[in-house]
Amino acid sequence: MAPKKDDNRKVVAENRRARFDYKITDVIETGLMLTGTEVKALREGKINIAESYAAPEDGAIWLINANIPEYSAGNRQNHEPKRKRKMLLHKREIARLAQAVERKGFTLVPLRIYFNDRGIAKLELGIGEGKKAPDKRDTAKDRDWKRQQQRLLRNRG
């Protein structure tokens, strides 16, 4: 199920490298189980999901290696920056994602984190298949060609 295209979303972080490294076949919107200081740090725009991934474990999907730095105004009960964070999904979705990862060799890649119109932090999770070096070259070639096309059209018009 693809997420709705809302203009009310405030994107906090985007993994731009994910679409270059992986062929994304499906996108799912998930919730995240966060602590209070993590949400406050997210509202400040402090998160790094470039090196993170998701994996099934103990009947749930976990976001691993996402770095949310400690909240600057937090006290001694501040959160741990690189802890595992549980994703909030339905059981059927968890089973489908776990099956895709185990059988077909896909990877769960976080694409972006944003706040929806109700102010709730959401994660856009992509089911991706790793690209080989020739595929990456083709992607770069297509991107350069499209950029050149736009440049030519802009100069003529």
Q: Do 125 and 96 form a contact (C-beta atoms < 8 A)?
A: no
> Which comes out higher in pLDDT, residue 137 or 2?
137
Amino acid 111: pLDDT? 92
Cα-to-chain-centroid distance, residue 56: 16
Model pLDDT, residue 4: 54
At 157 the pLDDT is: 67
pLDDT tens column, 72-96: 776 777 777 778 989 999 999 999 9
pLDDT value at residue 70: 80
Cβ neighbours of residue 17 under 8 Å, at least 6 residues apart? 50
| Confidence grade of residue 6 (pLDDT, cut at 50, 70, 90) | low
Instruction: Provide the mean pLDDT of the chain.
Output: 85
CATH 2.40.110.10 fits 10-131, yes or no: no
Which residues, other chains included, contact 68 with Cβ-Cβ below 8 Å and sequence gap of 6+? Answer: 38, 41, 42, 46, 47, 79, 81
